[in-house]
Amino acid sequence: MSMNKFAVATRKKFRFETSKGQLTVEDLWDLPLTSDTGRPNLDDIAKGLYKEIKEGDEISFVTSSNIVNTAAFNVTKVKFDIVKEIIDVKLAEADVAKKAKATREKNQRILELIAQKDDEALASKSREELLAMLSTTGDEA
């Protein structure tokens, strides 16, 4: 039975190196995507793991040993896959939140325009019409 990468990471107690120390898989979910202040972030962790993968990707055409199949390389690859998946989830969530905010703002603007139109329609009525509306308004509610 094959375990998913998150199960492997938690069972093997993977730790992720950052400028502020080691983090668990759970801690990664709390990190920002990027940071301009030197705070640990997912982009820097992914870049570091990607660099390790690329450096370990050297293959010898003379010897039969291939560094790509080492346990350390495989752990690094799983760590990178985990960080990348968390980044993808956070990017998707940010996109959904951005679209929801845009929809809320658009709906608010429409409501403001409707209120403005209602005010214009009300303002265009004669004094007599307004007085008649005023006397019947309480009865309709």
pLDDT block averages, 10 residues each, the chain of length 141: 82 92 95 93 96 76 59 89 97 97 97 96 93 72 46
Q: For residues 137 and 139, what is the distance between their CA atoms, to the nearest angstrom?
A: 6
Q: What's the pTM value of the predicted model, to 2 decimals?
A: 0.70
pLDDT at 87: 97
CA nearest neighbour of 90 among 132, 140, 139, 32: 32
- H helix or E strand, kind and range, residue 135: helix 127-140
